[in-house]
Each structure stands twice: as structure tokens, then as C-alpha cells.
């Protein structure tokens, strides 16, 4: 709310979620979540271009930095196979998935975090249906992402490149502790006075149900500390 002695402005925002689910494994005697001592300003917030409010969810991965900044790992599951010539891709929209936005750079999740590949900047992203299921239809340039199969995972990439992009998050080391909404257009940089800045406090030493996580790129298996099938631990 903005207020002065002669006027006032109020603002409200309405949104909804399909329900709630616990991603962290509940275990008897388990210690309380271990919060990092200094929270982080999210360096790659959602941009506010989507028609539906973007969200992050409990169990999403972060790259936390001790300078008080960090990245969230944006992941998207393909709802339709992609051929090299496609100019539209379809991304799952199930209420618990990240919402794609115009301007986000994506690439097919590679074999490892450091493996380079082709990436593309998403164009217009529109919620629609495909084969009776809710999806997001996102425009791309033909021959920009190569081929991909139904169910493959896209991740946010560091650059738009035909060959040299890698996953933006190179050191996933913590979890989002709860669900958060990105309701406001973010600042474009440190000198942008008007934009929103988003801060969260990630948690360490947690265990998630992999089936309940937003998406699970296979390269995360290399850092999974859990020996229990179906659990992911950092």
C-alpha cells in the first residue's frame, strides 16, 4: 500500500494453486530444516510475462552463494516430442510445474551439468490443450533445439547458442523450502528502482520424494546422496 496525507493507493493480486503436497520426506527423529544463515536474492526470477503467476515449489533446487545471491533451477517437461523443424513446443502444465515465459533461454537437459548443447530463447508462451491435457505452447525458431522425446526435461540455459549453452545452475546445493509466487515484474538490474526483488532462504540437508519434485533431470543423479530408490538427498 502507498500512502500520503492526501491520497492512498492499494493493490491486490488474486491467484490460486491446485492444492498442497509435501515434497520433503517425513521421518521420525528428523532434525528441523537447516536454513542457510544469509538468504539469497534470486538472480533469475520469473519475468512476469506469463498470463498465469509463475511459482516455485518445495523441493526445487537452488544454487546458493554466500554473497547473498543465487539461482533457482527452472525445469520444464515436454508434453510432446520435438522434431528439428518444429517452431512450437508443448510443455506440461499440471499446476505443479514451472510456467514457461517469453524470453527464457532453455535447452534439453544434457547428460551432465557441464555438457554443452543447443539452446533457444522462448517466444510467445500460451496456455492451451494438447490431446485433452493442459499445456503451454511456446514458439521457437526451427532447428534451434534439435530433437527431443515426450517427457524429456528442458532446463534454463546460460546463453542462447547453437552449440555452447550449459545449464544456468551449475552447482545445485540447496532446496526451496516452500511454495512461492512471482506476482510482480522483477527489477532488470541493480539500478532499476521500480522493479521487484525476490529473496528466499534455501535449506540444506533435506530429502525429497523424487516423484513429487517439480521435474527430475537425470543429471541430478550424480549428486544424489540418498541410497533409497525414489528419494533425492542433498
Report the distance separating Cα 83 and Cα 142, nearest Å. 9
Q: What is the pLDDT of residue 12?
A: 60
Express each pLDDT in 193-217 by its tens digit. Answer: 888 999 999 999 999 999 999 998 9
Q: Which of 198, 36, 181, 172 is nearest to 113 (CA)?
A: 172
Give the 3-state DSSP-derived string for the chain, with helices as H, strands as E and coil as C.
CEECCCCEECCCCCCCCCCCCCCECCCCCCCCCEECCCCEEECCCCCCCCCCCCEECCCCEEEECCCCEEEECCEEEECCCECCCCCEEEEECCCCCCCCCCCCEEEECCCCCCCCECEEECCCEEEEEECCEEEEEEECCCCCCCCECCCCEEEEECCCCCCCECECCCCCCEECCCCEECCCCECCCCCCCCCECCEECCEECCEEEHHHCCCCCHHHHHHCCCCCCCEEEC
- Res 1 pLDDT > 70: no
* Residue found by looking up cell 545452475 in the block: 169
pTM: 0.90
Q: Which long-range contacts (C-beta less than 8 Å, at least 24 apart) are formed by 85-88?
A: 85/142, 85/143, 86/140, 86/142, 87/139, 87/140, 87/141, 87/142, 88/137, 88/138, 88/139, 88/140
Quickly count: other Cβ atoms within 10 Å of residue 198's Cβ.
20
Express each pLDDT in 16-65 by its tens digit. Answer: 555 556 899 999 998 888 999 999 999 999 987 777 889 999 999 999 99
Which region holds residue 131: left if phi is over 0, alpha if psi is between -120 and 50, else beta? left
Q: What is the pLDDT of residue 48?
A: 77
Report the distance separating Cα 47 and Cα 166, nearest Å. 21
Query: Could you tell me the pLDDT band of residue 4, with boundaries at 50, 70 and 90?
Result: low
Amino acid at each position: 500500500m502507498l500512502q500520503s496525507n492526501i491520497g492512498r493507493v492499494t493493490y491486490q493480486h488474486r491467484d490460486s494453486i491446485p492444492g498442497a503436497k509435501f515434497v520433503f520426506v517425513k521421518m521420525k527423529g528428523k532434525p528441523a530444516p537447516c536454513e542457510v544463515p544469509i538468504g539469497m536474492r534470486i538472480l533469475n526470477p520469473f519475468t512476469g510475462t506469463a498470463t498465469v503467476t509463475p511459482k516455485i515449489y518445495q523441493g526445487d533446487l537452488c544454487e546458493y552463494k554466500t554473497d547473498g545471491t543465487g539461482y533457482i533451477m527452472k525445469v520444464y517437461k515436454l508434453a510432446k516430442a520435438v522434431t528439428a523443424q518444429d517452431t512450437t513446443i508443448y510443455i506440461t502444465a499440471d499446476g505443479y510445474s514451472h510456467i514457461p515465459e517469453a524470453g527464457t533461454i532453455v535447452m534439453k537437459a544434457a547428460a551432465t551439468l557441464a555438457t554443452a548443447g543447443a539452446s533457444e530463447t522462448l517466444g510467445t508462451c500460451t496456455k492451451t490443450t494438447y490431446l485433452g491435457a493442459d499445456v503451454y505452447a511456446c514458439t521457437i525458431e526451427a532447428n534451434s533445439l534439435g530433437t527431443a522425446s515426450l517427457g524429456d526435461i528442458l532446463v534454463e540455459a546460460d546463453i542462447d547458442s547453437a552449440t555452447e549453452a550449459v545449464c544456468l545452475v551449475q552447482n545445485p546445493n540447496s532446496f526451496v523450502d516452500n511454495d512461492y509466487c512471482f506476482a510482480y515484474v522483477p527489477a532488470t538490474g541493480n539500478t532499476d528502482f521500480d522493479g521487484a526483488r525476490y529473496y528466499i532462504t534455501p535449506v540444506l540437508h533435506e530429502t525429497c520424494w523424487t516423484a513429487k519434485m517439480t521435474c527430475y533431470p537425470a543429471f541430478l543423479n550424480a549428486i544424489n546422496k540418498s541410497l533409497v530408490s525414489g528419494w533425492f538427498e542433498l
